[in-house]
Structure 1
Amino acid sequence: MTLFDTISTKRRSSTLAMNLLLVLAGSLLMIIATKVQVPFYPVPMSMQTLVAIGLGLALGPVRGTAAVLLYLAQGAGGLPVFAGTPQQGIGFAYMMGPTGGYLLGFALAAFVAGLFARFGFDRNPVTAMGAALVAGGVVYLPGLAWLGLFTGYGETLLAAGLYPFLLGDVVKALLAALIFPAVWKWVKGGEAR
């Protein structure tokens, strides 16, 4: 059972309208996360991966992935929701660029994180960290595969699309490991009252 499932069961509020609202809100969180850059070493860090993982952990694999897919659909439709848009292009032209695979990876990350949440991995800091690291790592599968079409496959690909982001991904996984078990503790504490 995911965090949202637990909360909605307590409040008896799991309806189609609520699910649609959650998916819409999740897509808006993805947009905000895309536009916020945190100064970091060696490259500035966006919060997209953390939000994609968080959507999966909080909403589960279906709703979390749906939120990311709605975000992608908004971008495909020409809305300037991606990093660097509208300056670097919009719509499918942007999605077919070097970072297109990473965009798909966010949906995969939400799905994987949601699966981990179904098995309770988000309730303990150690397992939440592991779940967030694995889910964040999934982003690189389509990301690097697609980016390699532009850079070639080899050290150049890893230097451009993997190495600069690893430290930031560890920090994001650590944040997920701190946030989600704490929220679970707070939700479970509310049940005792």
Structure 2
Amino acid sequence: MPAPDNEQTAPARRRRSVSARQASTDLALIAAFAALIAACSLLPALYLGGGLVPITFQTFGVLLAGAVLGARRGFLAVLLYLAVGAAGFPVFAGGSAGLAPFAGPTAGYLISFPLAAAITGFLVQRLPRRRLATSVPLILLAGLAGSFTVTHPLGILGLMWRADLSAQAALLTDLVFWPGDVVKNLLMALVATAVHRAFPDLLPSRR
């Protein structure tokens, strides 16, 4: 009597099909945001703070990945971006590539990026879904949390470690970037709310 088996396996096949489509969509989004971060990184850079660390739109792309994709996919998108750069593709600021940037003054900032995206995504995922399309201040705060709990502290440690700066000198160097990061976080929040307004089901469900 094959009918019962067919009835039991049909839902399983549907679940596998849905899972496969979701995995394919996730991979496409992760790759797309990795490419977006690369494009943001390759925009003309402005060097401040003694010329040690460039100002780019890199952090805009990193935090947007978390705010739009959520913690896990945002983390993976940034990790893919870093892996592509480490493999030798010129996707880091100024067109640099390879492992050298991970041994230079920007090492702390680069290492912080996946964590910043994950923190931002984690916080955004906890916002009420009905408010995502209009929650610019809340998404802004989520992005600032990612920036100022991870990126700037690790960036300062990286400057102390790889640029041989004192803690005070590293902090003063990092302070130069704070106003720009606030502006980039605001832009990120505006773009993220527009994306969620257009694609209300893009963010994963809370677990």
| One of 96, 101, 114 as aligned partner of 1:94 | 101
- Compute the TM-score of the two structures, normalised by the length of structure 1: 0.79
**Partner Cα distance (2:193, 2:101) in 1:** 36
- 1:17 to 1:151, Cα distance in 2 relative to 1, 3 A: same
Structure 2, unmatched stretches of 5+, are: 1-17, 201-207
Identify which range, 162-171 or 177-186, moves more after superposition.
Answer: 177-186
Structure 2 counterpart SS, 1:120: coil
| RMSD over aligned Cα atoms | 2.5
**Partner Cα distance (2:89, 2:32) in 1:** 16
Structure 1, unmatched stretches of 5+, are: 1-11, 189-193
1:24-43 to structure 2, matched below 5 A, reads 24-37=31-44
- Compute the TM-score of the two structures, normalised by the length of structure 2: 0.74
**Partner Cα distance (2:48, 2:104) in 1:** 24
Identify which range, 51-60 or 12-21, moves more after superposition.
Answer: 12-21
User: Which position in structure 2 is the counterpart of 1:105?
Assistant: 112
**Partner Cα distance (2:197, 2:32) in 1:** 23
1:171 aligns with 2:183: yes
1:71 aligns with 2:81: yes
May I ask how many residue pairs the two structures share in their alignment?
A: 173
**Partner Cα distance (2:199, 2:187) in 1:** 18
Structure 2 counterpart SS, 1:141: helix
Letter in 1 for 2:168: E
CA contact (8 A) 1:50 1:173 kept: yes
- Cα deviation for residue 153 of structure 1 reads 2.7
Letter in 1 for 2:145: V
Identical aligned pairs, as a percentage?
34
- 1:130 to 1:40, Cα distance in 2 relative to 1, 3 A: farther
1:76-155 to structure 2, matched below 5 A, reads 76-86=86-96, 90-120=97-127, 123=132, 124-137=135-148, 138-149=150-161, 150-155=163-168
- Cα deviation for residue 179 of structure 1 reads 2.4
CA contact (8 A) 2:45 2:94 kept: no
Structure 1 counterpart SS, 2:104: coil
